[in-house]
Amino acid sequence: MINLLRKKFRYNYINATIIIAVINVAVFVLTKFFPTLKFYLSLNPRAVIDYHMYWQLLTCTFVHANFLHLFLNMFGLISFGMYVEKSLGSKEYILFIFICAIFSNALSLAFFVIGGWWNTLLMGASGIVFSILFAFAVIFPTVRVSIYGIIPVPAPVCVILFALIELGCQFFGISGGIAHMTHLFGFLGAWLYFPIRLGVSPIRIWIEASKH
């Protein structure tokens, strides 16, 4: 079973990061011409549970509320995703993205249902952007990343700081329309992916990197 889970793909590179970004932009344009499309593609707990619109667990990743929302997510996707894709190969990278997207969105759905937020609309690629950031920190643990373009810190420290920020915002009710738990679930999905699929311990890599 473990061998099946860890079966390697033949390496290839097709620049899937740009393709995914183009799909996001195309969906954004389509929702401007057809506004109701946003409600069919975004994740709504009642639509999924009562009306079996299960595709929303994936399609909500490609929907964005406004241009700034789209721009920030695509900036993060391209900034880190291209490096992660080149390291993993496009097939592994695509599998990683789709699994982390469905995982983070499914946990978000459960979180909304438990909290009674039935009319919530979850949309945006930030869940996979956080997963990609986590992957970047595992693959390139000594590379420094600038937090908000100001403070350069090692990539693993960036992940830890963002996790603490997201937890703090969630705990203190600082929302601003941002799905903080989805971001955290994105981190969690990536964390599980590395040992289960790739046989890699992120914590062990970060500890080793901190010694150099």
Asked whether residue 6 is domain-assigned, the answer is no
pLDDT digits (tens, 9 = 90+) for 29-57: 999 999 999 999 999 999 999 999 999 99
Q: Looking at the domain assignment, is residue 67 inside a domain?
A: yes
Does residue 179 sit within a domain?
A: yes
Give the pLDDT score at 169: 83
**DSSP SS3 for 173:** coil
150 burial class (0-12, 13-18, 19+ CB within 10 angstroms)? exposed
Domain that holds residue 163: 13-210
What pTM did the predictor assign? Answer: 0.94
H helical segments located in 42-179: 45-51, 56-59, 67-88, 90-115, 126-139, 155-171
Residue 57 lies in a domain: yes
Instruction: State the average pLDDT over residues 175-204.
Output: 91
**Residue 5 covered by a domain:** no
Q: Is the pLDDT assigned to residue 170 strictly greater than 80?
A: no
| Contact assessment for residue 43 and residue 56, using Cβ atoms and an 8 Å cutoff | yes
CATH of the domain at 70: 1.20.1540.10
Q: Do residues 108 and 178 lie in contact, with contact meaning Cβ atoms separated by under 8 Å?
A: no
Judge whether 155 lies within some domain.
yes
Query: Is residue 46, in this structure, part of any structural domain at all?
Result: yes
Does pLDDT of 135 surpass 70? yes
Distance CA 113, CA 10 (A): 40
Q: CA quadruple 203, 166, 196, 61: dihedral positive or negative?
A: negative
**Mind listing the pLDDT tens digit for each residue in 12-23?**
999 999 999 999
Residue 80 lies in a domain: yes
d(CA 68, CA 75): 10
Domains identified in the chain, total number: 1
What's the pLDDT at 1? 56
